[in-house]
Every structure is written in structure tokens, then in C-alpha cells.
Amino acid sequence: MVPDPAVLGLDVGGTRIRAALAHGEAVLLTADVPWPQGLAPRQELGLVADIALSLVSQSGMASSLRAAGVALAALTDREGCVIEWPNRPGWKGLAFRALMEERLQVPTVVEDDANAAALAEWTLGRGRGFRHGLVLMVGTGVGAGLILDGRLYHGHHGWAGEIGHMVVQPEGPACGCGRRGCVQSLASGRALERWARTQGLASGADVELAAAKGEAWALEALADAASWLGLGVANAVNLLDREAVIVGGGVSALGEAWWGPFERALRGHLMNAETRSLAVLRAALPETAGLFGALGLARERAGLTLLAETRAS
């Protein structure tokens, strides 16, 4: 009998690196390492590979390793080169996939982290059983993964899912992308920070605390941010005729003060609302969704069935 293949998953984020090695249905080993200070970009990439290889050698699975999947919080091209990573500008131009393949010696897939998390949510989380979905990841930014006919859709360059930069208010607040009135500038954690500053506070978490205490300005802030997201999502649902919308990331933990206005704005802007069926759900997976998505991508790359069978050990 051929031994079960092993795969590596990596979630390379702005603040930490998560890694997992899976064999058959079991996750054998994991690692979770915050970025150390003071490394050059190539040294940082070397650290990612070192973490991965240490899991492989600890597991004794080197000869069974078939593929690696990486969820990366950066914009990459189809060759896995980094085009843009605002959190780590030094990575721009780095041939990430090629360098990883050189170190790991297995085929490696690099995917946007929101897409990877969407894939995990779709196969292991709340998305199971749907064929046409939109998985939102709403935190500091707003990202999304598109599931079309039951598969993660990549688009022409691999950049599909940029719902955060859908302009819905051309006269709206400035966005980090250089334009005005993007969904992200109106609906993300950054929008809540703007509300917090009007009260002499600093962070989106302050808004959430104040809302939990019932403060009117904070409830208004949550409702405003949620409504703008609802409008942007309705635009996407109308365009793409979704079956389900699943919301993950920081906001998915918020209560009715966010969810009520979000769902009202979303459903209020749907075409043919009476005859349309649309499930609106909270994501089920915790912050490890990106890592499980990366494992799924590796399984896909290795020609294995998708990660519906890959569960946390």
C-alpha cells in the first residue's frame, strides 16, 4: 500500500507565521511564530522555510511530503512573486513561490489569505453544501473569497475577491488605495477607528466596548459601518447571484448592533428580494481558517480530495 501523502500549510501574515503538517486526515504538527524584529526580507523568507522544514523533519515525513500551500497577506502575481505588501514593503518583488519551492523541494501554491480562509470556511466551516458563495473576511480590511460552482474562483491574475475596494460613495472618506468611498474605507476596522477618534478614543475595539455599554454614538458607528458593508455585499450578490454570504473576521463576533444593520442593508438592496433565496451566516472557523485553507490548497495541488476530510487533530 502506498503511504498516505503529507502536505504542508503555511499562513504567512503581517504579524505571525502559522504552519501545519498534515498526513492523511490528521494534522500532526503545528507551529505559531511571531515575526522577529530586524530581519531582512530574504531572512524572513528563510525563516518561513525553516519553520516549514522543521515540521517536516520532526514528523519524519520528508519522503511523504507532496505539496505546500501558503496563505499570504500580500498581493502576488501568477508566479507567486510579491507585487505589493503594505505591511512589509521590503517583500515587493520577492519570488516567494520559487524560493519556497527551492527550499521545500515540493510544488507550492501561494494564495491570498482571504481566499485561503474562504476556501477553508467553504469546505470545513459554514459553507459546506453551498455551490455559490461569498466568504467575507472583515477586520482591519475587507477581503473576500468567491466560490463559484463549488470551487474557489481565482480570476485572471489570481486577484478575484477585492470587494473591499468597491467604490459605493465616490465622495466618501479617503481609502488607503488612493481613492474615496471604497467599502473598506466605510465599513472596516479603519472606519470604526475614525469614529473612535471623534470621541477622543483610539481603536475600533473602543467603539465595540462603548456599543456594548449602549452608548448611542458607538451604536451609530457600528450601524453605519455595517450598513455600508451590507450595500457593498448586496452589489456583489446582485452581480454574482449568490446562494450564501458568510462573514468571518473580527466583525463576525459582534452582536445584533452590527448584524442587524448589516443584514437589513444587505437584504434591502437585493434585486428580486421576494423570490431570491440567500443565506447570510457567520463564519464557523476561528482565526486558523487561513492555515486550514493553506492545507486545502496543498491537498488540491497534490491531487488529493479537498480538505473536507482534513480536520484539526
Contacting residues toward a copy of itself, per CB under 8 A: 75, 77, 83-84, 131-132, 144, 146, 148-149, 153-163, 165-170, 177, 179, 231, 234-236, 238-243, 269, 271-272, 275-277
Based on CB atoms, which residue is closest to a copy of itself, 9 or 261? 261
Based on CB atoms, which residue is closest to a copy of itself, 35 or 153? 153
d(CA 280, CA 277): 10
Q: Supply the minimum distance, in Å, between the C-beta of residue 126 and a copy of itself.
A: 16
Based on CB atoms, which residue is closest to a copy of itself, 76 or 310? 76
Based on CB atoms, which residue is closest to a copy of itself, 16 or 131? 131
* Angle, in degrees to the nearest 10, between helices 289-301 and 113-124: 80
- 222 and 258 in contact (C-beta within 8 Å)? yes
Q: CA 238, 243, 244 angle in degrees (round to 5)? A: 100
- Exposed/middle/buried for residue 299 (C-beta within 10 Å: 0-12, 13-18, 19+): buried
Based on CB atoms, which residue is closest to a copy of itself, 30 or 235? 235
Where does residue 111 fall: left (phi above 0), alpha (psi -120 to 50 degrees), or beta otherwise? Answer: beta
Q: Supply the minimum distance, in Å, between the C-beta of residue 242 and a copy of itself.
A: 6
Q: Supply the minimum distance, in Å, between the C-beta of residue 19 and a copy of itself.
A: 28
Q: Supply the minimum distance, in Å, between the C-beta of residue 271 and a copy of itself.
A: 5
Strands 133-138 and 244-248: parallel
Q: Supply the minimum distance, in Å, between the C-beta of residue 266 and a copy of itself.
A: 12
Based on CB atoms, which residue is closest to a copy of itself, 131 or 197? 131
- 10 and 18 in contact (C-beta within 8 Å)? yes
d(CA 52, CA 67): 12
- 156 and 205 in contact (C-beta within 8 Å)? no
Kindly give, in sequence order, each residue whose CB lies less than 8 Å from that of residue 160, ignoring residues fewer than 6 positions away: 115, 146, 153, 154
Q: Supply the minimum distance, in Å, between the C-beta of residue 122 and a copy of itself.
A: 15
